[in-house]
Structure 1
Amino acid sequence: MKKLTDAQKLVRNIVMVVTMGALAFGYDTGVIAGALPFMQNPLAQGGLGLTPLTEGLVTSALVLGAAFGSLACGIVADRVGRRDSLIGLSVVFMIGAIGTSQAPSIPVMILMRGVLGFAVGGASALVPMFISEMAPPSRRGQLVSQNEMMIVTGQLAAYVLSAVLAKFFGVPGIWRTMLLIAAVPAILLGGGLFFVPRSPRWLASRGRTDDARRVLELIRSTDRQVRKEMVEIDAQVSKEADQLGWGEALREPWIRRLLMLGIGLGFAAQFTGVNAFMYFTPIILTRTGLGTEAALVATISAGVVAVIATFFGIWMIGRFPRRFTLLGGLGGVVFAHVGLGVTLLLLDGSPVQSVAALGFILLALLFIQMMVSPLYWLLMSELFPVRARGVLTGLSVAAQWLCNATVAFLFPVVLHWIGAYTFFVFAAINVLSLMFVAKVLPETRGMSLERLEQHLEAHFSPDIAAGTA
């Protein structure tokens, strides 16, 4: 095995610390699946008396908060930096975790889930962005994809802990302990970030070129790499010194097209139904006749598949084009949704229905977590120009969270109304997403962030594209 240099070890440690934000993100989105069945109990039995409507509100409150968090933190990150913004978010994570675990009523729970969502959304925008700006170009895809690995690891941890707590400590209020555990990764994130340097690209964009060079000297293995990257960063900063801020940047047609691409990719990622499965798999399985405890245990398999799939997704990112991977994933998702819909329609009452339904849920998650979700977060970290990266990433990720909220709020209601046909609707939407990606998304693999910005400007600018045609 090749020995890591000190710089490579430092980058690895930085990624481990920063992705504590992704671990908290994953745990907070996954734990609701285990907590909801207990929160449905009446107040007298230790629950909150949730109905299908308030179940959707509690679930989607986190997601709506995340939309605001990703946008606000994107703006703040361009002003105060990626690292310092994440330190502030770690405090919000802790407040949200404690608040949800102690909520005495549904309105308080919805409010505190929104606070927690603000931190989740901010982390979802800033963690991949920060890693992409610290990673060497040759390893950017794999290192940024560690973000997705930690998200699904957090979700798996939530499923396992929820099942264990329900099995061995199944008191009516056990859901409060499930929610409180979310404070642990937040503490690790906040403490670890004090030992992490700031982004060299953000430092350079603020005129702190010497500081940027010093950080690069810490995280690059050779002087040649430092010099090459500083030349590209200096050239990009000089070019953008004559350009105005993000408000004026949005007046440029190619940047508006990039933003529309980012928003469209968020729609495609969320309407795979990934969070319908992550939030509501126990609810889906109980409709096939499984008991609550059995459904919670079965849901662990969803977390295991997500982690394994993400591991292979990281391997694929280093070897296959982005477009090919994303299109293949969306095609697999269409097949899985059709299979799940047919299973729920034609096997109603069959003893194998629960097993078959779980199989298609796992197949969908395999394609999503291996070929769609890692690509989405990677593209969000590399598509946008540095002078407005925080704001544009925040806008795109905020739109993604709004799509997530739509799915989280409507899914239990629509499943109640039309049952198995819900999954045929998902299949049709994913066909449209596949067509969108095939038509609009350019290839981004193998370029530094500065070279990629030039490539995307040429691709999305009509004047430049016409001149090079």
Structure 2
Amino acid sequence: MEPTHDDTAPDVPLIGDHEADNRHASSLLLSSSGNAFTWVLTISACVSGLLFGYDTGVISGTLVSIGTDLSSRELTNLDKGLITSCTSFFALVASPISGVLADRVGRKHVILFADGLFTLGALWQAFTSSVWGMILGRSIVGLAIGGASMIVPLYISELAPGHLRGRLVTVSLLFITGGQVIAYVVGWAFSGTRGGWRWMVGLGAVPAIAQLVMLTLMPETPRYLARVQKEAEARAVLSKVYRGMVPDTTGIVEDIILAIRKELLAEEEAHVQLKSSESRSALMPPVLHSLLFHPPHARALMITCTLQGLQQLCGFNSLMYFSATIFQRLHFSSPTLIALSVAGSNFLFTLAAFSLIDRIGRRRILLRTIPIMVVSLLLCAVAFSYVPKASEDQLDAPTSKTELPADSRLPAVGILCALLLYVSTYAVGLGPVPWQQSELFPLSVRSLGSSIATATNWGCNTIVGLTFLPMMELLTPKWTFACYAAVCVAGWVVIYHIYPETMGLGLEEVADLLKTGWGVRESMERLRILKSRRLN
């Protein structure tokens, strides 16, 4: 069945009014760009994404600029690993907690709390004088990042019209990658200034304070408002979201409110049934039991956790955290400026993902881009094998100032080119696709499932942050990048077998795909039928 109206929006339930959908589908399809209200809300929420990107990107330039400013000594590899990995570890802690808080106090208040942590963490880092003080500041920022990474896509999804959902979630990724670019520019600008790293980390408080002001004008999501019996406010927000998309918003607003009521009623009934189930452990919450042991829900969890884990274990964030360190040890004259090219490529190709994700499809983007990532990583490994042994040993030295011999300059440029190709293909595929995770979960387990998937992302991020420099030292750089290539190959095989194509399908249809199996073949057939109907 061809999907109509807003089936893909999270504020429209699995049990919907399909007659209403048919009434309003054609009008919605004519207004695909949204209105000013929707875009202002999206951009306001995405400031958290900007902070997320800035605070993950700024550490690259900071690590090569600190010198002996912390604890009166040079940073060791262990220091660098702890400073970077503590951020992702506390993001891992915060992401599931933020999912629970979002249902209890609202999406908007979680963003507010994250802004407070961003501000505190940035200022703490700027004024600390010890390694452990820096670790504490990065940990506070990690809590903020964990909350933002969970709540911003959810906030946007619940406010966006269904036909814009994929693209508007990708906008949040544009802000993340844009924040990383800004971080590298700031890092480069202050790299020659004594104590400039304090400005690098401290400036992260500015966008957080700005968003605190913006929050006074941002509404709560209509789904949350309806859930806490504030339907009048939910109607007002929905009317603004759909203004200009249909001649009269009254009908579509009432349809969505009715659908939310049915959705909440179905959720309550499902919880009652799960509580009375004899097979359920008395110690396990019913939603968690359903997520882990009900086959369709468990399949959705496996797919989303696989994608989020692969997104990190492919080694991408090792470049975000340590790219300046890598280029410094390869003896580029301005490692922070060279590292900016990595962040810039990530941003530019995320723009490409914005236009492609709803045209090519999630599954096909991954199957086409991951092989290029594998080739890029192998090219990088080969280039490292041509770096002379004496120069390769210098990769383990903290900040050697000696020049590489002429015969190692070409491999260094080759490494840079291979990394740029790798980052570009990542930004189109593995960067944005895993964050579309909520579309795979039914409403009753969506919040918890998304929280667990996000926690998987940060858990794997922590592993990469802790192991990258030791792997470079123990395995050598070429075998480190070869390991990342092997992870990508394994991920491609798993995606090929278990990840269905969800582009163009409503939530009900996605749920149907996972009822009796992985639904890969069925999803491709449905997509073919959908395209043929649209052409006719």
Q: Same fold (TM over 0.5)?
A: yes
| Residues 350 and 455 of structure 1: CA distance in aligned 2, closer, same or farther (over 3 Å) | same
Equivalent in 195, 199, 214 of residue 177 of structure 1: 199
1:391 aligns with 2:448: yes
- Counterpart check, 1:130 vs 2:140: no
Match of residue 52 from structure 2:
25
Amino acid across the alignment from 2:511: E
The Cα of 1:463 is off from its aligned counterpart by: 9.2
**Structure 1 residue runs without a partner (length 5+):** none
Residue pair 2:342, 2:423 contacting (<8 A) in 1 also: yes
Residue 408 of structure 2: SS of its match in structure 1?
coil
2:434 alignment partner in structure 1 = 376
Give me the whole-angstrom Cα distance separating, in 2, the residues matched to 1:464 and 1:439.
8
Contact 2:500 2:518 in 1 (8 A): no
Q: Conserved in 1, the CA contact under 8 Å of 2:441 and 2:511? A: no
1:7-86 maps to which residues of 2 (within 5 A)? Answer: 8-39=35-66, 41-43=67-69, 49-86=74-111
The letter for the 1-side match of 2:53 is G
Q: 2:131 aligns with which of 78, 88, 106?
A: 106
1:69 to partner: Cα distance: 1.2
Residue aligning to 2:170: 145
1:80–1:425 CA distance, 2 compared to 1 (3 A): same
What is the distance in 2 between the residues matched to 1:236 and 1:126? Answer: 21
SS at match of 2:371: helix
Amino acid at match of 1:427: A
Q: Which residue of structure 2 lines up, in the alignment, with residue 339 of structure 1?
A: 379
| Displacement of 1:228 | 4.3
RMSD: 2.4
The residue identity in structure 2 corresponding to 1:400 is N
Cα distance between partner residues in 1 of 2:518 and 2:330: 56
Match of 2:471 among 391, 409, 414: 414
* Aligned with residue 308 of structure 1, among 348, 352, 360: 348
Q: If you compute each CA radius of gyration, which structure gives the higher value, 1 or 2?
A: 2
2:383 paired with 1:357: no
Whole-Å separation in 1 of the counterparts to 2:43 and 2:73:
36
Q: In the TM superposition, what are the counterparts of 1:132-281 in structure 2 within 5 Å?
A: 132-167=157-192, 170-171=193-194, 173-221=195-243, 222=246, 223=249, 224-244=251-271, 246-250=287-291, 251-281=293-323
Residue 393 of structure 1 aligns to which amino acid in structure 2? Answer: S
Does the aligned pair in 1 maintain the 2:377–2:482 contact within 8 Å? yes
Distance 1:387 1:290 in 2: 52
Matching of residue 290 in structure 1 with residue 332 in structure 2: yes
Matched residue SS, 1:256: helix
- Tell me the TM-score normalized by structure 2: 0.80
2:513 aligned residue: 459
- Measured after TM superposition, the shift of residue 339 of structure 1 is 0.7
Amino acid across the alignment from 2:433: L
- The structure with the greater share of residues assigned to helix is 1
Give the whole-Å Cα distance in 2 for the aligned partners of 1:269 and 1:420.
20
Paired with 1:161 and 1:19, the residues of 2 have a C-alpha distance of: 20
Distance 2:418 2:517 in 1: 47
Deviation digits for residues 323-370 of structure 1 (CA, Å, limit 9, x no counterpart): 001222212211110011111112544222222111111111101112
- Which amino acid in structure 1 is aligned with residue 68 of structure 2? P
TM-score of the pair, normalised by structure 1: 0.91
CA contact under 8 A between 1:275 and 1:407: conserved in structure 2? Answer: yes
1:224-276 per-residue CA deviation (whole Å, 9 max, x = no partner) reads 54344344433322322312263343343322222222211111111222111
Structure 1 208/461 Cα, relative in aligned 2: closer, same or farther at 3 Å?
A: farther
SS of the residue 1:19 aligns to: helix
Matched letter for residue 174 of structure 1: G
